[in-house]
Amino acid sequence: MEDEIRVITSSYYSENGLPVIEIFGRNMEGESFAVLYKKFLPYFYVIEPREDEINRLRSVEEMVSVDEVKLWYKGSERNAFKFTCKSPWRVPEFRKYISEANRVLAADIPFHFRFFYDLDLGSCIKFKGAEIESDRFSVDHVVIADTLERTADFLPPIKILSFDIENSIKDQKLYVIGYSTSFKGKYGEGAIFGEPRDILEKFLKTVRDEDPDIITGYNIDGYDLPFLEKLATKENISMYLGRDLSSPQRIQDQFWRIHGRVVADAWWNVKREIHPKQETLAYVSQELLGEAKGDVDRLSIEQEWVRDRDRVIKYCIRDSLLALKILEKIDVIEKYENMSTVAMIPLDDVFNSGNSTLIDSLVIREADRRKIAVPMNNFVNQNAEKIEGGYVHSIEPGLYDMVAVMDFKSMYPSLMIKYNICFTTMSPEGEIISPNGTRFLSPSVKRGLIPELLEKLMKTRDGYKDLMKKEKEPDKRRYLDSMQSQVKILMNSFYGVFASSFYRFTDQNIGSSITAFARDTIKGIISDFTNNGIQVVYGDTDSIFIKTGKATVDEALQLSNGLKEEIFRKLGIIIEVERVLDPLFSHGAKKRYAGKILYPKQEAGNMVVRGYEIRRTDSFDLQSDALMEIFNHILDRDVNGALRRAKEIISDVREGRVEADKLVISRSVKDFEFYKEMDSLANVQAARKLMKMGREFIPGMKVSWIVVDSKKRPQVVEPYIPNVPFEYKPDYEYYADRVAQTLSRITEVFNVDESSLKTADVRRKSTLEDFF
């Protein structure tokens, strides 16, 4: 049999004492596969092992072969031994046979990753082999592969199953599991109820029959799956959710791993992707979908179940469907499919791994090709000295005309390429000297592994962008845009990973060299601009803002495009003109500004605001609304109107002329055990009150509240629940003070401080020139 699949997950199991790699995925027609490979064994390296260490490892029955090899390690070619064994799970044990842990190499790479690296597989694979019948797997086809190879990426139909449970609060009895499915544009739904044991067994069978690639729900990670796992233990049932009939595993108390399927909790992904001000299913479904959640009194679920079972069942199914639609709405599956294409690892590992895993996939493959030693990660040394950050050219308070915002195109990756910064090129003989004194070999002597990888990624991204410009079909344009975005994200992750204290290829001198070059580069550009009579309003590693001094957008663009070309000619640094703003306002804080957009044309007339409370999820809406109003006045050059309106808003709040929902504050709450003084924290107080009301609360979720008495210690807050009347009187004085604090940061630029906003008659000069 021969076919192609997109890889969902990869894992392994033992058969006759040897590992069998299992790769799960779907083909373009939507058929599910388990592709098995039996011809790969685990191995690791040791640099210059002693004779007794070699003999001890060689004598182990598990050892298949011991081979002498040459590896480049810490600046020179060194003697090493490759130890190949039968069982991946025994490699950690064999590492201990070596007296110095830092001489053991590539011994912490997960076995399925090692397999993907060595066969150079990616997100989509082509296989040839024999199809077999097997009761071990709940898929359409099981194939023992003879050959595997990477193939062009494609997006097959992905099947999603979302579920929700309802159970008694008093005795934890399971009442019902509602579920919904989505596949090839069609939705399905169902519910399972009866005795708890029967419900669980039927649900496990439903999962096997439906055969989803993605399992989701709203907080299934923290509630539903642990609940079912406890029930399975109590009933002595094997919780066969995997495509190989394995049970779910909780990994480091961070995520669930199910062989053949991805657990993609809708709540976690919403939290990670869009950072909503409130995180309940009711709020998120209304905001994202415009759909209301069902209404069942969770505090009285026992009575609800007895009184109107059908209503509870419909409510449960509805919750599962909303979670499924939310996951689809935020488009996270396709986004991570595209990242799996860029990083060449299974979809599950993109969902559940950090940036270092994505980068490992590219770096280790290239290191292996060049016979470069791959050290193990170092999670012990977490106290390394912090690297000095990038340079920031501070912005002075005020209003600026015709400002061009010039964005650096991936500053750190560009510098790593330009100066050949890499662990493979760091050398006392290096001709390239960083501002901190670290030396790197020039590309003519030795091209660095990392610069070469980054250059390939840059070209790949440019290729996607070029195709996107030519593509007219909207779905294909969206796909190409997503691909170029994922490449950019991965490129920009390199600095953070290589500057970390734990990563296998980390060197403090590399991270500090990159930031040192960045500081010097930005200072040099600003100095050149200033010497040529161009005022730099603000600058950092992301962008430079210049006051063009021009009267029209076209003239401003002509100047900034000329500067862009000059920077590339002199420094090889790519910079793009992102926007022209007229005017631009800042009260003088880093990365805090508001401006009216003139360019690009499709955004002309809109306002852009960065760094102020409108961008923060823990502010209340009135703060955001008030700021936007004041900014609108200022950007229309109506200072008197801005000051007058600021005072009116504060007065309205103090007098209670404001809707309660404009005063809602939201913040995350961890597990209560994390807090020493719970009663003193408003967010914890609100969460505990929500729970007493029988309302939804999940540790890690944002809760919402309104302050009703700030004078008491601790201040008194009451939970806010959308679409439920708020029956308490807000502490309007508290909110008036908060708004005054927020607006005064803006009005102080015009010599009006917080106390003046609250008490004085705000009548000021009528022209901007009087203020600057």
| Host domain of residue 259 | 160-335
Neighbours of 535 (CB within 10 A): 13
Q: Helices (DSSP H) in 102-216: which residue ranges?
A: 111-118, 196-210
Residue 82, pLDDT > 80, answer: yes
Report the pLDDT value the prediction gives residue 769, as an integer from 0 to 100. Answer: 47
Quote the tokens at residue 575: 């910079």
Token output for 369 = 């090709």
Final residue of a domain: which of 590, 610, 630? 610
pLDDT at 572: 84
Whether residues 580 and 658 share a domain: the answer is no
The total domain count for the chain is 4
Based on the domain organization, do 249 and 180 belong to the same domain? yes
Q: Which residue has the tokens 């970390």?
A: 500
Are 602 and 622 contained in the same domain? no
Residue 355 belongs to a domain:
no
Bridging pattern class, strands 543-547 and 403-408: antiparallel
- In a domain? residue 456: no
Is residue 466 one of the residues assigned to a domain?
Answer: no
Place of tokens 């061009």: 404
β-pairing verdict for 160-167 and 214-216 = parallel
Per residue in 121-144, pLDDT (tens digit) is 999 999 999 999 999 999 999 999
CATH number at residue 684: 1.10.132.60
Structure tokens, 359: 């980068």
Structural domain includes residue 90: yes
Tell me the pLDDT tens digit for each residue of 234-281: 999 999 999 999 999 998 888 999 999 999 999 999 999 988 888 889
On whether residue 342 sits in a domain, the answer given is no
DSSP collapsed to 3 states, 648-709: HHHHHHHCCCCCHHHHCEEEECCCHHHCCCHHHCHHHHHHHHHHHCCCCCCCCCEEEEEEEE
Model confidence at 48, pLDDT cuts 50, 70, 90, reads very high
Contacts of residue 602, defined as CB under 8 A and 6 or more positions apart, other chains included, come to none
**Would you call 619 helix, strand, or coil by DSSP?**
coil
Residue 72 counted as domain residue: yes
Domain annotation covers residue 209: yes
Phi-psi category of 702—alpha, beta or left, where left has phi over 0 and alpha has psi -120 to 50? Answer: beta
SS3 150: strand
Q: Buried b vs exposed e over 696-720: b needs ≥16 C-beta within 10 Å?
A: bbbebbbbbbbbbbbeeeebbbbbb
Dist CA 343 CA 124 (whole Å): 12
Residue 508: pLDDT band (50, 70, 90) is confident
If phi > 0 it is left, if psi is from -120 to 50 it is alpha, else beta; for residue 555 that is alpha
Q: CA geometry: angle at 44 spanning 38 and 46, to 5°?
A: 160
Q: Look at residue 620 and give its three-state secondary structure.
A: coil
CA atoms within 13 A on the CB side of 102: 8
pLDDT tens-place string over residues 441-466: 999 999 999 999 999 999 999 999 99
- Extract the tokens encoding 378: 């170092």
The verdict on 265 and 389 lying in the same domain is: no
What percent of the chain clears pLDDT 70, i.e. is strictly above it?
A: 96
Q: SS in 3 state form for 700-740?
A: CCEEEEEEEECCCCCCEEEECCCCCCCCCCCCHHHHHHHHH
Kindly tell me if the per-residue pLDDT of 372 is higher than 90. yes
125, 328, 219, 342 alpha-carbon torsion, rounded to 10°: 30
Residues 400, 518, single domain; the answer is yes
Query: What CATH number should be reported for the domain holding residue 128?
Result: 3.30.342.10
Same domain, 592 and 631: no
Of 270, 303, 335, the one marking the end of a domain is 335
The CATH number linked to 432 is: 3.90.1600.10
Q: What is the CATH number of the domain that holds 235?
A: 3.30.420.10
Main-chain dihedrals φ then ψ at residue 738, nearest 5 degrees: -65, -45
Mean pLDDT calculated for residue range 10-26:
96
Nearest-10 Cα torsion for 606, 608, 612, 614:
50
Does residue 770 register a pLDDT over 70?
no
The answer to whether residue 467 sits within a structural domain is: no
Positive or negative torsion for Cα 723, 727, 733, 734? negative
Question: What tokens were used for 720?
Answer: 């806010």
pLDDT at position 75 is: 87
**Model confidence over 174-206: pLDDT tens digits?**
999 999 999 999 999 999 999 999 999 999 999
Q: Check whether 694 has a pLDDT greater than 70.
A: yes
Average pLDDT, the chain: 91
Same domain, 605 and 650: no
From CA 670, how far away is CA 239, in angstroms rounded?
A: 28
Same domain, 585 and 674: no
Residues 431 and 551 in one domain: yes
Q: How far apart are CA 652 and CA 545, in angstroms?
A: 37
Instruction: Give the residue carrying structure tokens 């990392």.
Output: 450
CB atoms near residue 396 (< 10 Å): 12
Report the DSSP beta bridge partners of residue 407: 543, 576
- Alpha-carbon distances, residue 115 vs 121, 356, 358, 365, 376 (angstroms): 8, 18, 15, 11, 17
At 764, the pLDDT band (50, 70, 90 cuts) reads very low
Residue-level pLDDT at 386: 66
Residues 65-76 have a mean pLDDT of 94
| Helix, strand counts (H, E) of the chain | 22, 28
Strands (E), 464-611: 535-539, 543-547, 575-586, 593-599, 607-610
| pLDDT score of 83 more than 70 | yes
Same domain as 192, residue 93: no
pLDDT at 590: 77
Domain limit, last residue, from 99, 115, 150: 150
Residues 408 and 508 in one domain: yes
Entry pTM: 0.87
**Can you give the three-state secondary structure of 172-188, one letter per residue?**
CCEEEEEEEEEECCEEE
Instruction: Determine the 3-state secondary structure of 371 from DSSP.
Output: coil
Same domain, 589 and 633: no
Distance of CA 460 to the CA centre of its chain: 22
